[in-house]
Amino acid sequence: MEIESTTLWDFPRQNYGDKPHGNNKYNGVTPAFVIWNLLQRYTKEGDLVVDPMCGSGTTIDVAKELKRKVIGYDLNVTRPEIIKNDSRKIPLADNSVDFVFIDSPYSDKQEY
Ligand SMILES: C[S@@+](CC[C@H](N)C(=O)[O-])C[C@H]1O[C@@H](n2cnc3c(N)ncnc32)[C@H](O)[C@@H]1O
């Protein structure tokens, strides 16, 4: 796989490779290759990545695969490693993480 080098990113599928990254049945799942590109470009091995609204855990799977540390929060916990949290407040100290990825919900598409 190559890092996208233009502003036009085309992802015909939610997943890449032969292992799942997140769950493509999850409402609003993020294309895994978006996260792969961002982590490749802006982080290095051992960095701490946080996703405050991680849904089905796509960021968790991509980050682990790329040997980044990762914390995933969501109101809707779909997997044991996701920490239940309302990310209007995030329980981390300022400047304590290397990269934040967030794919926020769209309007009132989902009820909580
Ligand atoms: C677009 S989805 C994220 C999809 C995720 N990146 C994935 O690949 O599965 C947005 C997520 O935001 C979560 N969410 C909405 N409001 C939230 C809040 N206040 N705090 C934490 N999570 C929230 C929803 O539960 C939903 O999982």
* CATH code, 42: 3.40.50.150
Give the count of beta carbons closer than 10 Å to the beta carbon of residue 64.
15
Range of the domain at 60: 32-88
The more confident residue out of 65 and 11 is 65
pLDDT digits (tens, 9 = 90+) for 9-29: 988 899 999 999 999 999 999
Report if residue 24 sits inside a domain: no
Ligand 1 neighbour 40 (Cβ under 6 A): no
Say how far apart CA 33 and CA 23 lie, in whole Å: 13
Ligand 1 neighbour 54 (Cβ under 6 A): yes
- Residue 28 — φ and ψ, nearest 5°? 85, 20
- 31 pLDDT tier (thresholds 50, 70, 90): very high
Report if residue 99 sits inside a domain: no
Report if residue 20 sits inside a domain: no
Paired tokens of 50: 């946080």
Q: Are 31 and 14 in contact (CB under 8 A)?
A: yes
Domain count, the chain: 1
Rama region for 109: left / alpha / beta (φ>0; ψ in -120 to 50; rest)? alpha
pTM of the model as a whole: 0.95
